[in-house]
Amino acid sequence: MNQRIPSHIRNEILKIKSRKDIYSTSKIIKEKGLNTVCSSSRCPNLNLCFSNKTATFLMLGDKCTRQCPFCNIGYDEKSYVDMSEPENIAYAVKALKLNHAVITMVARDDIYDGGASIIAAAVKAIKSGTNCKIVEVLTSDFMGNKNSINVVFDSGVDIFGHNIETVEKLYDTVRPQSSYARSLGILDFVKKERPHIQTKSGIMVGLGESKDDVFKTIDDIASVNVDFMTIGQYMRPSVKNIEVKEYVPLKMFIEYREYAKNKGIKNVFSAPLVRSSFGAEKFYNNSVKLQ
């Protein structure tokens, strides 16, 4: 049975934000027909992020070629690719005056390079056409295609993100078209090939994993020298998605954070409403100050 959202999470989601800034951010995004993972995934932090005049851009359409049951993004085996998307995203980054831009993508297994070239084009457009200082990407696994990964990290990206999403034993249920080993391998490959690029990964909890499962996943992420890790509560986007098995107590998020730090992951953001790109600029800037 799907559990009721605890009051401490519900109250955070329902806090009144600046409606003016929410509207302003939405208008800039809609002006160029862009997609955001904030809207497409029904992220609970949408109002907070939009009120702070920031958003995570979702590239290569709003339909994915995979059907992960935890995700709200729609499915299509083949979709249109808008070649003007990189320039339009650069326009939005400039209009929003972002110092730290985050780009993510749907999986596009129907494209020869998985969409890597258009992701790279967006990074280059932001770097050359705006005052944005840090560009962060959160990519698919590109089916393990190292040539595609090379295209992305040679674009000038500062932070390369790829999410593990869940513990290994739940992959058949939560990420049936993906591979735990392949995802770890991507993070390992990027760090070994381009040590100067910072890597980032995240997981959801509350899907039926045990504490030891999470500890093992943290061990695995630490073993490939990931720089940033996020841990957040899975929240069911709609009735079509898999149910929440548990709302993890706040004290466990603290325990997971401390465990990850003890394993050598210096930058860990762990709390119920944490998402991969949530507070990305603040997360990054705090890590810089601590070094």
Please name each of the domains of the chain with its CATH number.
Answer: 7-286 (3.20.20.70)
Over residues 59-70, mean pLDDT: 92
* 291 vs 125, higher pLDDT: 125
Residue 48 and residue 17 in contact, taking contact as beta carbons nearer than 8 Å: yes
Residue type, position 141, single letter: D
Task: Give the per-residue pLDDT at 17.
Answer: 65
Residue 118 and residue 82 in contact, taking contact as beta carbons nearer than 8 Å: no
Predicted TM-score of the model (pTM): 0.93
Task: Give the per-residue pLDDT at 39.
Answer: 83
Query: If you average pLDDT over every residue of the chain, what do you get?
Result: 91
The percentage of the chain sitting over the pLDDT mark of 90, rounded to a whole number, equals 71
Residue type, position 251, single letter: K
